[in-house]
Structure 1
């Protein structure tokens, strides 16, 4: 479920522009990686990042995504006169057969959506193992996920009204089937410090490691009700001096965050601590990722223990 407002179309366009500007600048700076390379761009979206790879010096790009996105990307790429150097396919990466062909660079422009990243991570692992040559480059090579607790009362009330109207009080156990929400965030909504949840090294992570647990600790920085856990996602690239995060303002109006509603309201006071564990469970039979948040609030106004389950894919 994704909340929309009257400006959602324009914001989505600005968001895509932000993503392409961010990765475009980084790819030009890292043009030595792309120069004369054959690039596999998975989850290519509208094709903008594939075209940026060509501008950075790539010899050829194979861009793949869903059929709908691939058709859109093909139109955009044709309009920009690059179809001779970019091939587009609408196919699941697991169904892709390249007859032994291996690529120099695996490109995937992750930016904001922690939920989609988690759900698609298994596809990236498959693409890496099947289609990237030994010594090939993954760009970006690492994804860092951080989280904080936020005040989001109006949205929290709207979400609960929707649950009760569409599911009903008798079926509240179905809350665990709720998906996290993509939405925009204002700095004043932040109630706690940010806590790093996990670093995903895309060179080394395996399918078996998709079932994992990560621990977090957040310190309350203002007195406010807490309704949700908000995650942010950073892409890291390797430079001669070491890893570099593709930095930008997470709280620009065009940057979307993945928000997990707790189902309760925590009345936090400054100096309180929220600790917990994020557990990831991948259901291979249904090809979906389940995320479970277990958390404990400790403050001078009391203690609370809770949890929430979310379907990612």
Structure 2
């Protein structure tokens, strides 16, 4: 469920926890619009992967009870019904539930699909389910923190031996070449020049000295231009090395506590083509493999990796390095990554990366970004 930056207002509480009503307004309201559902549905790599994962594994759905977490338009619930599910509970927190009911009725699945408006945390079901399906992924996989609700649904409603669709997920990082980082730095410098002109004008026109705010303004602008990741559509030719999977999740086993604890991983990235490394590119994939008790007959993978045919609606995230990191072909980048939920909004992410070119003295860098 990746979304364009800025769609959610930032929340700022001292303890980092948003009131439920505010969180609902800032997170869920966007999904109540059909234009938003259209954006997701017309991403055919996304929708097609789910369609294939369900319809190519009819045996795993036929006669089963299915829970669709965050059904949105109801499309995944309809796929499950088409595959022969006995019952589908389609749970949706927003008023999009009304549109989902309309779609279910129009496609003559009302006898199978029951649309329930509410959150997973608040609803109850009359029976355990055999399959949980959900499109919960956000930018860089974890933005939005919807996986918490999917895991809660698993613990609350899944019968023994049940299967998660998708069942596994991985996160990747790779060094890339891009001119975008230099452009962002130019924009940052231009912003600071504009500020200098502004405080000069304020002093000349109104005899008010705003120079005491220059450092806070600089931090604010640096955070925006240089320390905020950016949605991008990276072409494979920009990759300086292959993507390295630095964390993986078995969705049948991962806990909410593990997710809340964030990511702490050490890994290496190979540099196949000579740098400089202008940015690191992040993406994810998810796999539909079923469970040990009910493995998929035809496993399907949905990837958001750089693709010459264009990006999914998730795109990739570019984490810019200003200045860039110089390294030769054949070099190895030793990296330590931290990914945490932001204190001001737990649905957004903060990323830290410590990276060093192996064998190169003085090349260690400490980089920090926000994912908006």
Structure 1: runs of 5+ lacking an equivalent: none
> What is the CA-CA distance between 1:64 and the residue it aligns to?
2.6
The answer to whether the aligner puts 1:77 opposite 2:79 as a matched pair is: no
Alignment partner of 2:352 out of 293, 296, 301: 293
Moved more, 181-190 or 259-268: 259-268
TM-score, structure 1 length as denominator?
Answer: 0.80
* Cα RMSD after superposing both structures: 3.8
The answer to whether the aligner puts 1:126 opposite 2:128 as a matched pair is: no
Alignment partner of 1:185 out of 224, 230, 234: 234
8 Å CA contact 1:44–1:108 kept in 2: the answer is yes
Query: Structure 1: how far apart are the matches of 2:98 and 2:141?
Result: 24
Query: Structure 2: how far apart are the matches of 1:279 and 1:273?
Result: 19
Moved more, 197-206 or 295-304: 295-304
Query: Structure 1: how far apart are the matches of 2:112 and 2:188?
Result: 47
Show the counterpart of 2:206: none
Q: SS at the partner of 1:20?
A: helix
The answer to whether the aligner puts 1:45 opposite 2:72 as a matched pair is: yes
Deviation track 1:172-199 (CA, whole Å, cap 9, x = no partner) reads 5755997643332211111222111111
Alignment partner of 1:216 out of 262, 267, 290: 267
Larger radius of gyration: 2
Pair 135,246 (structure 1): closer, same or farther in 2 beyond 3 Å: same
8 Å CA contact 1:156–1:261 kept in 2: the answer is no
> What is the CA-CA distance between 1:163 and the residue it aligns to?
10
> What is the CA-CA distance between 1:48 and the residue it aligns to?
1.8
Query: Structure 2: how far apart are the matches of 1:13 and 1:187?
Result: 23
Q: SS at the partner of 1:129?
A: helix
> What is the CA-CA distance between 1:25 and the residue it aligns to?
1.4
When the two structures are aligned, how many residues end up with a matched partner? 307
TM-score, structure 2 length as denominator?
Answer: 0.68
> What is the CA-CA distance between 1:107 and the residue it aligns to?
0.7
Larger RCO (CA under 8 A, 6+ residues apart): 2
Show the counterpart of 1:246: 301
The answer to whether the aligner puts 1:261 opposite 2:319 as a matched pair is: yes
Query: Structure 2: how far apart are the matches of 1:177 and 1:69?
Result: 36
Structure 2: runs of 5+ lacking an equivalent: 7-34, 193-215
Decide which structure has greater strand share. 1
Report matched runs for 1:1-313 at 5 Å.
2=4, 12=39, 16-67=43-94, 69-94=96-121, 96-98=122-124, 101-109=127-135, 113-116=139-142, 119-154=145-180, 157-158=183-184, 161=187, 168-171=217-220, 174=223, 180-210=229-259, 211=261, 212-238=263-289, 244-246=299-301, 250=305, 251=307, 252-255=309-312, 256-264=314-322, 265-282=324-341, 287-288=346-347, 290-298=349-357, 303-311=363-371
Query: Structure 1: how far apart are the matches of 2:176 and 2:102?
Result: 40
Query: Structure 1: how far apart are the matches of 2:250 and 2:189?
Result: 37
